[in-house]
């Protein structure tokens, strides 16, 4: 399976790095493009094919992933489409660009709108996929590809904007908690890097408890809160300061922009 990734920015780089790290896709089966040659040097050193020619790179691929800004998606898709066959699968990472908008340009061909996050680089992305004009086998191919870089699911396209806020912007929201907790940890005695490591691993563990057990978060919270204990005191102080409300307002505010 030959994969071409158009755009070596943060999200395109994360995908390529995650595929290499996973090992199921060989570097020589990946082509990465960018208009700036210097941005490709590090990937060429890893054995990835690199190019500044989108058309040539797309022509030889089974799957083409468009990792460009939304305002560039129509120009880039229009550039490569004349050279594509009906069997090639086209994937768009462009937030806010619907499959119907893309299909006006591409015609009736297999299309996938995908919302991943930058944790693809460490094979921990939450990737949401919506498909149009695709067979079950083609959809499974895309699921398998993004399964290499984390967890991938098919969702209704009507939920893709919501998925962007929860699973893509959500990375930044979670890391803002990590940053805030790190600052507090320094104030109570830890060196920044030490407490950052502690909090990051605690977040990994907390997420794994939910992902692997299927329990409601409150079930796991109850296991570490005791009457008159320090955990419930901390939780209540956060709630008095508007913690849950702030998170909800942030998510709803971000969703309102889309």
Q: The whole model's pTM is what?
A: 0.91
The SS3 assignment for 49 reads strand
Which ranges of the chain have pLDDT less than 70? none
Strands of the chain (E only): list them. 3-6, 30-33, 49-51, 63-66, 89-92, 111-115, 125-132, 150-154
The SS3 assignment for 33 reads strand
pLDDT of residue 91: 97
Q: Which residues contact 1 (CB under 8 A, 6 or more apart)?
A: 25, 29, 62, 63, 141, 145
Q: Determine the Cα–Cα distance for residues 248 and 64; give it in Å rounded to an integer.
A: 36
Specify which residues 30 forms β-bridges with: 3
Q: Determine the Cα–Cα distance for residues 208 and 85; give it in Å rounded to an integer.
A: 42
Q: Determine the Cα–Cα distance for residues 44 and 59; give it in Å rounded to an integer.
A: 19
Domains of the chain, CATH where assigned: 3-155 (3.40.50.720), 163-257 (1.10.3730.10)
Tens of pLDDT along 21-79? 999 999 999 999 999 999 999 999 999 999 999 999 999 999 999 999 989 998 999 99
């Amino acid at each position: 399976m030959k994969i071409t990734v158009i755009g070596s920015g943060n999200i395109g780089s994360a995908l390529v790095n995650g595929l290499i790290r996973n090992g199921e896709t060989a570097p020589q089966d990946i082509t990465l493009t960018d208009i700036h040659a210097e941005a490709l040097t590090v990937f060429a050193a890893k054995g990835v094919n690199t190019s500044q020619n989108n058309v040539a790179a797309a022509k030889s691929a089974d799957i083409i992933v468009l990792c460009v800004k939304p305002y560039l998606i129509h120009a880039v898709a229009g550039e490569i489409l004349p050279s594509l066959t009906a069997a090639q699968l086209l994937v768009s990472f462009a937030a806010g660009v619907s499959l119907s908008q893309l299909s006006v340009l591409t015609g009736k061909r297999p299309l996938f709108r995908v919302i991943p996050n930058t944790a693809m680089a460490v094979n921990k992305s939450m990737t949401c996929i919506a498909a149009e004009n695709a067979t079950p086998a083609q959809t499974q191919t895309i699921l398998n590809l993004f399964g290499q870089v984390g967890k991938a699911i098919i969702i209704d396209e009507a939920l893709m904007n919501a998925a962007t806020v929860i699973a893509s912007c959500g990375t930044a929201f979670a890391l803002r908690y990590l940053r805030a907790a790190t600052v507090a940890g320094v104030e109570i005695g830890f060196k920044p890097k030490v407490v950052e490591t502690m909090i990051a691993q605690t977040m990994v563990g907390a997420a794994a408890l939910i992902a692997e057990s299927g329990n409601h978060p409150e079930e796991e919270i109850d296991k570490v809160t005791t009457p008159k204990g320090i955990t419930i005191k901390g939780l209540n102080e956060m709630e008095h300061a508007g913690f849950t409300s702030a998170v909800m307002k942030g998510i709803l505010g971000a969703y309102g922009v889309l």
